[in-house]
Amino acid sequence: MTDAPMPIAAVMLAPGEVSRLPALFDHWLWATQLPGRYLPLTVEEQNIGEIISALPKAGFVGLHVSQSFQKIVLDHADIITDRAALMSGANTLIFRRDGKIHADNTDGYGFIENIRQTMPHWNPRVAPAAIYGAGRTARVVISALIEVGVTEIRLTSRTRPKAEQLRSEFGTRIEVVDWLKAGNMAEGAATVVNATPLGSAGHSEFRVPLDGLTPGAVACDLTVDPPQTRFLQQAAAYGCHVADGVGMLICQATPSFERWFGHRPPNDEAARIAAAS
């Protein structure tokens, strides 16, 4: 009788990119005492197909994909989930035992699950949602909120045509608000999301007025650096429940760890410390 091979997974990064996932997965493997390894892989774009083909033969069970490559990897997948197709990108590849490559996107799941862990009785249907930003991150948020029943989404962007494009794709439940009027968007909203890079490391602060926030609403910021942004600090001061990007990172990574290593990992303070390091 031979021992089963040790599962290996990785995150695929473009040159110069870094990820917090290796620290999180190393912690989870240590905490669960499971055999396995999780590695960062820096890949040139022209080598993506060759790398994806080679990894299963080298014992890899799956791959996380940085945002730079999420659209490209769909060309190398045999099975694409509906949510990956909707996002036009996959953040997760699963190397199945039958040889097929399964592409998925767990960002929307991570976004919603993070809110539910922050505020277990959150009801997204009771009031509109307000989203600042209209890039790929906003697309994830819009799709996830529509899936859980939000019927009205206020959307604003410093580049209005990008917001209008999202409205054309997702329909009339989205109301595009001019960026100059963004300070009014949070009033009466149950869920308020900063999906811009404003407030993250290397970018300007988020300076849209938030005095219209409703106490008890949920405020989310998807950046992980820093975890506690000015946006979240202001929201907390107005009595909101806050959900940060580190929590979302942990929640979106949980299904992958369970699939690849066979055990659901703990989402606790130790995991947050590892993911924020």
The tokens for 232 are: 């979240």
- Residue 92 makes CB contacts below 8 A (sequence gap 6+) with 62, 63, 64, 65, 103, 104, 105, 106, 256
For 137, phi and psi rounded to 5 degrees? -65, -40
- Domains contained in the chain, CATH given: 8-105+252-276 (3.40.50.10860), 108-243 (3.40.50.720)
Residue 277 confidence (pLDDT): 83
- Residue 11 makes CB contacts below 8 A (sequence gap 6+) with 19, 21, 22, 38, 39, 40, 41, 63, 64, 65, 66
Residue 49 confidence (pLDDT): 97
Query: How many other CB atoms are found less than 10 A from the CB of residue 160?
Result: 15
Q: How far apart are CA 110 and CA 56, in angstroms?
A: 26
Tell which residue, 225, 271, 237, has the closest CA to residue 252.
271
Residue 1 confidence (pLDDT): 43
CB-based contact 116:123 (threshold 8 Å):
no
CA distances 25 to 5, 21, 247, 253, 266, Å, are 18, 6, 14, 9, 11
3-state secondary structure 146-201: HHCCCCCEEEEECCHHHHHHHHHHHCCCEEEEEHHHHHHCCCCCCEEEECCCCCCC
Q: How far apart are CA 70 and CA 76, in angstroms?
A: 11
pLDDT, one tens digit for every residue, the chain (277 residues): 446 789 999 999 999 999 999 999 999 999 999 999 999 999 999 999 999 999 999 999 999 999 999 999 999 999 999 999 999 999 999 999 999 999 999 999 999 999 999 999 999 999 999 999 999 999 999 999 999 999 999 999 999 999 999 999 999 999 999 999 999 999 999 999 999 999 999 999 999 999 999 999 999 999 999 999 999 999 999 999 999 999 999 999 999 999 999 999 999 999 999 999 8
Query: How many other CB atoms are found less than 10 A from the CB of residue 45?
Result: 11
Q: Is 257 left (phi over 0), alpha (psi -120 to 50) or beta?
A: alpha
Q: How far apart are CA 133 and CA 208, in angstroms?
A: 12
Q: Are strands 241-243 and 218-221 parallel, antiparallel or unpaired?
A: parallel
The tokens for 271 are: 């995991």
Q: How far apart are CA 13 and CA 48, in angstroms?
A: 10
Residue 3 confidence (pLDDT): 66
Q: How far apart are CA 226 and CA 220, in angstroms?
A: 13
Tell which residue, 248, 245, 240, has the closest CA to residue 228.
245
